[in-house]
Chain A
Amino acid sequence: QLQLQESGPGLVKPSETLSLTCTVSGGSISSSSYYWGWIRQPPGKGLEWIGSIYYSGSTYYNPSLKSRVTISVDTSKNQFSLKLSSVTAADTAVYYCARAHCSGGSCHLGHWGQGTLVTVSS
């Protein structure tokens, strides 16, 4: 059974870099059928896609965050990671990692991690 687990600091200071890792178990991150992504949800608000990565390293980012986001993959550890630089209080959110399946010209997020709350505060 596929499982995704986010890990990383729950508190980040303003202007610093938020770093999270998603560990995938029960399936290979190198599968050609899937993409891997990050989504966030500020407290009490809706979902926002941050970006996605393919096992080959191809990346796709939300233009609203593109200048601050880096997503990378480590196939040897079955993990992918998120870095968000120059954070502010507006980046406080629950961060989810997820697996995307793409077919027929569309993609959906079939498996999600449990999410991790990251608070930006001094």
Chain B
Amino acid sequence: SYVLTQPPSVSVAPGKTARITCGGNNIGSKSVHWYQQKPGQAPVLVIYYDSDRPSGIPERFSGSNSGNTATLTISRVEAGDEADYYCQVWDSSSDPLYVFGTGTKVTVL
């Protein structure tokens, strides 16, 4: 089955930029979606189709995807961005259809 690898943790100072990577074999050929999950809450979609933002998600959140790595970038980080972040792909030729990354804990210093 397809595997998505994320760093366990990323630390960033307020106002700086956080970059969270999601590694997978030729992931650039797939669409990547990103979720934010705060403690005790359900995941929230923050980026879909590599770089699209749902309504209500700040422009500070952006995404890119190329080669073997997809990246979620959070600019001008705020304390409220502290959360776990998961990447996800869907592949009709894969089993399971939905694959989630291992998750990254973003800590705002």
Contact = CB atoms under 8 A, between A and B. Distances in A.
Interface residues of A, number: 24
Interface stretch (B11-19, B42-50, B68-76): B42-50
B96 interface: yes
B31 interface: yes
A110 B96 contact: no
A16 interface: no
Contacts of A109: 33, 35, 43, 45, 88, 98
Contacts of A104: 31, 49
A102 B103 CA distance: 23
A8 interface: no
A95 B1 CA distance: 22
Contact of B97 (A48, A49, A110, A112): A49
Of listed A102, A109, A112, residue having the most chain B CB within 10 A: A109
Nearest to A94: B42
B54 interface: yes
B108 to A, nearest CB: 20
B31 A52 contact: no
**Interface residues of A, dominant DSSP:** strand
Contacts of A102: 90
A46 B4 CA distance: 12
Given A46-B86, A96-B42, A112-B44, A106 B96 contact: no
B33 A108 contact: yes
A115 B92 CA distance: 26
Given A46-B86, A102-B90, A104-B31, A110 B45 contact: yes
Interface string B32-70: 010100000111110011000010000000000000000
A20 B90 CA distance: 24
A26 interface: no
B30 A106 contact: yes
Interface string B77-109: 000000000101111100111111111000000
Interface of B: 1, 30-31, 33, 35, 41-45, 48-49, 54, 86, 88-92, 95-103
